Amino acid sequence: MDVYRNREKRKLELVSRIRKCLFLYQYWMHREFGFLNARMQTWFPFSVQVCVNGREWLARQMDRVGRKYVRQDNCFP
């Protein structure tokens, strides 16, 4: 959003404009879910995106119940 001066109406107007947005990234190693991260937009509408690695969660669940598995990189072949 940007404040624009309308000379004809002699008023200030709020105008939507396309601009580059800055994002902040935060990373965690959670005890149950494993690696996860969040991406936060720095201005309105301040969206937040949280990403959880489902394969990491699945591996932790199988470890917890004692199930054997083979893990190759980020996969279970």
How far is CA 32 from each of CA 22, 41, 43, 53, rounded to the nearest angstrom? 30, 26, 31, 11
Angle at Cα 11 formed by Cα 7 and Cα 14, nearest 5°? 105
| Residue 5 belongs to some domain of the structure | no
How far is CA 27 from each of CA 35, 37, 73, rounded to the nearest angstrom? 7, 4, 20
Residue 71 in contact with residue 61, Cβ under 8 Å? no
* Structure-token pair, residue 40: 């936060």
**Owning domain of residue 59:** 20-67
Number of domains in the chain: 1
| Residue 12 belongs to some domain of the structure | no
| Residue 45 belongs to some domain of the structure | yes
| Residue 56 belongs to some domain of the structure | yes
In this prediction, residue 1 carries a pLDDT of 76
| Residue 36 belongs to some domain of the structure | yes
32-60 confidence digits (pLDDT tens) = 888 899 999 998 888 999 999 888 889 88
pTM here is: 0.55
